[in-house]
Amino acid sequence: MGITEVKNRHSGELLRQPGVSGVGTEKDEAGNDVISVYLNTDDPEIRRRLPQQIEGYPVKFIFSGPFRKLSSG
């Protein structure tokens, strides 16, 4: 099972958590797959409540601020 399937299976639950604005996948510095969780706040308490690993894949927290929908006009 690949990281995309794992991310897809857990994205809904992660996105319902306070402070989480997005979920993705990427490679870490060593080229290993990680699940990226984008946070709209840099509150360490939020990071403590979130998993550090999901189905064997490490979780990387990224402070992105809130995501905003771009207008198409």
DSSP bridge pairs for 20:
39
Q: Residue 64: its pLDDT value, please?
A: 83
The pTM (predicted TM-score) of the whole model is: 0.84
CATH of domain 3-63: 3.30.300.50
Cβ-Cβ contacts under 8 Å for 53 (sequence gap 6 or more) = 59
DSSP bridge pairs for 25:
35
Residue percentage of the chain with pLDDT more than 70: 88
Concatenate the DSSP letters of all residues of 4-25 into one string.
Answer: HHHHHHHHHHHHTSTTEEEEEE
Residues 14-38 pLDDT 10s: 999 999 999 999 999 999 999 999 9
Q: Residue 4: its pLDDT value, please?
A: 96
